[in-house]
Structure 1
C-alpha cells in the first residue's frame, strides 16, 4: 500500500488547477486506503437491480446501482454515473453463458483522463449542472462536474485498460434460430461488499435462522417434557445442553447480523463456518474433511455447501416438519382456506406455495408488492387494504417439500400483525388476485411444526 506526499501550502503560492486536482485525489484516496485496511474484500455491489424483462430482447439494463470497484472508486446510478444498456448478439457459438461486467477506464498518470481529449475514452465525462448557494438557497449558477465514464461489457480482455466488476451471468435461451433471448443465471452471484437487500445471501441465511430457531425450540420442549436436574446431569442432558448453547448463541448472532447492510459476505461466511464447526464437534465421527474456500467474486457455491451441511446436521434429529393446507376455489372470485388446526397460529414459520400458468418468475414482484395479489381475511375482501406481507424465498428450507413448478413465499405474520389478527379471529384466509396475471392459480399454506407439538 502506498501513501502519497501531501501538498505544501504557503503564502505567495500561485494556485493552479494541478494543486486542487492533487488535493482532491489525496482526499479521495485516504478513506479508500482505510477501507482496504478494514475490510478483507473492499469491493463489490452495495445495491443492484436489473431489468429482467429486458433480457428477453437480448438487452442488459441496469435500473439502479451502487458499487465500489476493485480500485476503490465509488459509483452509483442515479448519482455519479449513467449506465447505457448493453445489447448482445447471438453468434451461435458453443458458449451458452455470458459474463457481464461493469467497467470503468483506469486512471492514468500519463494519458488524458477526460474523455474529450484526443478522442480517448477517459475515466471522466464533463457535465454542467445548476447549483444554488446552500446558505441562501438562491443565486443559482452553472457548475461543471465530473461524472464517471462507466459502461457494460461482455469482454473480459478489457481488464488491460479498464477496472472490471462482475455484474451478472446470463444464459442464452434459443426458442428458434431467429428468436434467441437471455435469462439470468441464478447459480451465479456477483461480489457484494455488504449483504444488502439485493444480495441473495440475505434471504438464504434468513431461512437458516428459522431452522435454528425451530431446532432450539425443539430442544427446549424436550427439556420441558423430560425435566432437568442440574445436580444429577446425565451424559444425554449434557449433550443437549451444549447443543442448545450453540443453537441459542448463533440464533441470536444471526438475528442481529442479518439486517440489510450490517455485515459483509466474508464476515457472514466466518459466522457460518464457525457454527458448522461447533455442530460437527458434537459428533466427531461425522466431521467433514472438506475445507471451504471463500472466493469473493463467486462465493455463492461455497455458501450453498456450508448451508447444506448445517441443515443436514440440524435435520438429523428430525426436529422439523411441515403441515400442508391447500386453498380451495370459492363461489366468489378468490381462493379460500378454512383453518381448523391451531398450529397454524401457534408460531410464525408459515410458507405459501404458489403455482400458476406462465412464467413463474414474472409475477413474483406482483405478489411481494401486494397491489395485484393479497392474502387477507374474508371480511376485508371488499376493502382497499393490503394483505399479509409475503417475501419470495429463492431457497426454501429443506423441511418443505421439493415441488416442481412452484414459487415459495414466507408469510410475514409479525410485519402484518393487524391483518394476521383478523385472520386468526376468523379462522380463515383468502387469496384475492388479478386473475389475468395468475391464470389457473393454486395455493397451499405450509406450517413448520416441531416434534412433540400436538394439534389442539
Structure 2
C-alpha cells in the first residue's frame, strides 16, 4: 500500500532511491491536498487550443495545452510533446468524447518508462536533458534523466477506469471528406474562463446587448408617455442594465478568472434581471455548477440573461411620446415609417372613471389620424382611425394598474396617408378627469 507520509531523515542513514521517491510523493500529496482545500475546482485547462489544420486532416491535435489534472498534477506541454499528442479519428467514428488522460497512480507498479506505448499505464516518460551547473560559470552541462507526464489523447470510454482525465472535445462525426466536426457548444473544464471561445463570445454578446439596451432605455427617459410610476420603472430598469454592463465589462477584463466565479456573478445577475425576463418574475432554478460540464452549466444561464436584457430594453417596443398642442390636440412623431407596415400601435388610457365606462365611451370620444389631417377630422366631424379594446395589456408591455389598452385598426383609408405625414395626431372630446395617455408601436416578428 502506498503511503504519503514524509521521510524521517537521520544522521548516518543509508540513502536509497525510495527515500527520495517517498519524499516527492509526500510533497505532491500535500500540495494537492492544499489545492483542493483552497479551490475545490482547482483543476482544468489554463490554456487549450485545438489545431484546426489537423481537424481538416482527420486528426484531433493540440497547438497549446497547459493546466492541472484532477489529481493535482500540473502540466505545460512543450512543442515536442504536442507533436506526439494526436488522436486519429477513424472513418465512421461519431459522437465520441475525447479526453486528455494520465494513468492513475498504481502502488507497487513502475511509474516511469523510457518509451511508453499507447497501452502503457506508466505515469511518466523518461527523457534526457542537458543541464548546466547554475553555480559554476563555463562548466560542462550534465546529461540528466527527467520524467515528464505520459499524457495521451484517448476516448473517455477507454480510459475511464484506469486514468484521471480532462475532457477536451466531443467529436460529432468525421465527414466523407475526412474533416473532423466537433461539438462547438461543449466547454472543457477550465482554470481561466476566457480560454473557452464559447464563453468568450457569450460574455462579449452579453456586454453588447446590455450596452444596446442601456442606450435605448436612457434615450427613452424624459420623452413623455405615462410618467409617474412608469418613469420610476424605466429608471429601475436602466439601473439594473447599467449595473449588468459594468459588471460584465469587469469580468471580461479578467481573462484568468476561474469559471466558477464567473458563473456565480452571472447567476446573481440573472436573479436580479428575472423580474424583467421571467414570466413569474422569479429566478429559475439553474442546475448546480458542474466543473466537468461547463457547457451544461453556462448555456441555459446565458440564454436567460440574453432574454432578460432583451425584455428590459423592449427591443420590439418603440415609445411614441405624446406632445400637447393647442385646443387639446396631442401629437406623436413616428421615427420610422416602416413601423406603419410592420407594427401594432397601442394606446394606453387611464382616467378617474370606472374602467368599464372608460372602455365603452373612450373609442367614440377619440379622433386619431395623420397629424396634418387632425384639424379637419375634428372640425368637420370626419371619422378617424378606429380603435379596438384589448382584454389585457400586450405581453410586450409592462402591466400598469388602472390602464385600459386599445389597438389602432389599420384598415381605414387614412392609414395609407400616414406614410407622408410626421406622425399621429389625436384629440379627446369631452371631459375625462385625470386623463393619462401613453402610446407605443410594437414591432411584429
Q: TM-score range by the shorter chain?
A: 0.5 to 0.7
**1:118 Cα deviation after fit:** 11
**1:146 Cα deviation after fit:** 0.6
Q: Residue 266 of structure 2 is aligned with which of 262, 272, 275?
A: 272
CA RMSD of aligned residues (A): 3.2
**1:130 Cα deviation after fit:** 0.8
In 2, Cα distance between the equivalents of 1:169 and 1:160? Answer: 19
Q: Residue 215 of structure 1 is aligned with which of 198, 213, 219?
A: 213
The structure that has the greater radius of gyration is 2
1:57-92 deviation line (CA, Å, top 9, x unaligned): 2211111201211111112211895543221222x4
- Structure 1 residues 206 and 30, CA, compared in 2 at 3 Å: closer, same or farther? farther
TM-score by length of 1: 0.60
In 2, Cα distance between the equivalents of 1:308 and 1:137? Answer: 61
Structure 2 segments unaligned to the other structure (5+ residues): 317-439, 441-445
Match of 2:182 in 1: 184
Match of 1:385 in 2: none
Match of 2:293 in 1: 298
Q: Does 1:193 align with 2:191?
A: yes
Q: Is the 8 A contact 1:81 1:149 kept in 2?
A: no
**1:168 Cα deviation after fit:** 0.6
Equivalent runs, 1:231-250 vs 2, <5 Å: 234-250=228-244
**1:191 Cα deviation after fit:** 1.5
| Secondary structure at the counterpart of residue 286 of structure 1 | coil
Q: Residue 252 of structure 1 is aligned with which of 246, 261, 269?
A: 246
In 1, Cα distance between the equivalents of 2:277 and 2:145? Answer: 65
In 1, Cα distance between the equivalents of 2:6 and 2:224? Answer: 70
Match of 1:39 in 2: 39
1:259-293 deviation line (CA, Å, top 9, x unaligned): 35432222211211111111113577533674211
In 1, Cα distance between the equivalents of 2:58 and 2:160? Answer: 24
**1:236 Cα deviation after fit:** 2.9
Match of 1:123 in 2: 123
Structure 1 segments unaligned to the other structure (5+ residues): 228-232, 322-450, 452-456
Q: Residue 204 of structure 1 is aligned with which of 168, 185, 202?
A: 202
TM-score by length of 2: 0.62
In 1, Cα distance between the equivalents of 2:193 and 2:309? Answer: 24
In 2, Cα distance between the equivalents of 1:71 and 1:115? Answer: 20
Q: Is the 8 A contact 1:49 1:64 kept in 2?
A: yes
Q: Is the 8 A contact 1:80 1:148 kept in 2?
A: no
- Structure 1 residues 297 and 80, CA, compared in 2 at 3 Å: closer, same or farther? farther
**1:17 Cα deviation after fit:** 2.0
Q: Is the 8 A contact 1:214 1:319 kept in 2?
A: no
